[in-house]
Amino acid sequence: LLILGLIYRFWPYLEEIRGGGGDDIALKEAQVRKYRKIVQHAGALEKKAAFLEKTLDRLEAGLLTGKTPSLAAADIQNILNEIAGKRDLEVLTMRVLKPESEEEDLYTTIPVQITIRCTVRQLKEVVYQVESASKLLRISDFRVRVVRGKQEGQVQATLTVEGFMEKIANG
């Protein structure tokens, strides 16, 4: 049993000594071809990496600049107040929600919930302005109710607008 175990353990070395090297040369030639092909594509990969780096820099310019989530939320609130002021909207409520960040994420999501009363046309303009703001913002939740009563044609919309900031190292 011991002899069988030793043979099993050292069989690859015995094959190499015996002269099974013909296949080994073919394998090494295939590896060399593979590596040459990789080297040929290195230039294209470097160009793609440079393009991705520029794209990342451009997108990170749209991140919120506050040093804390509270300051970043204030940035979002200012943007929303500016949009509402331009459109002459009635802002009913504005709340800062709890920041969200997964352990492996590089960015923290800062949500702000706003409730406004407006017409459908004004709401369309608000959505457009949020999506095309200078900061990277998205609308993650969107609810609309029709307002009954004296203000015909009005809707009440609740939007959750999220902005992004770089994750703080210790938080």
pLDDT digits (tens, 9 = 90+) for 112-165: 999 999 989 999 999 999 999 888 899 999 999 988 876 778 899 999 999 998
Separation between Cα atoms, residue 99 and residue 69, nearest integer Å: 7
Q: Tens digits of per-residue pLDDT, 85-120?
A: 988 888 999 999 998 877 777 888 999 999 999 989
CA 60/CA 58 separation, integer angstroms: 6
- d(CA 116, CA 141) in angstroms, rounded, equals 14
- Cα separation, 44 vs 10, in Å, equals 44
Asked if 72 and 125 count as a contact pair (C-beta separation under 8 A), the reply is: no
Burial string for 18-48 (b: 16+ CB within 10 Å, else e) reads eeeeeeeeeeeeeeeeeeeeeeeeeeeeeee
For residue 94, give the DSSP letter.
Answer: E
Q: For 75-87, write each residue's pLDDT tens digit.
A: 999 999 999 998 8
Mean pLDDT to the nearest integer, 11-27: 69
Helices (H) and strands (E) in the chain, counts: 5, 4
The pTM assigned to this predicted structure is 0.67
SS3 state of residue 162: strand
Closest residue by Cα to residue 98 from 112, 86, 87: 112
- Could you tell me how many residues make up the chain? 171
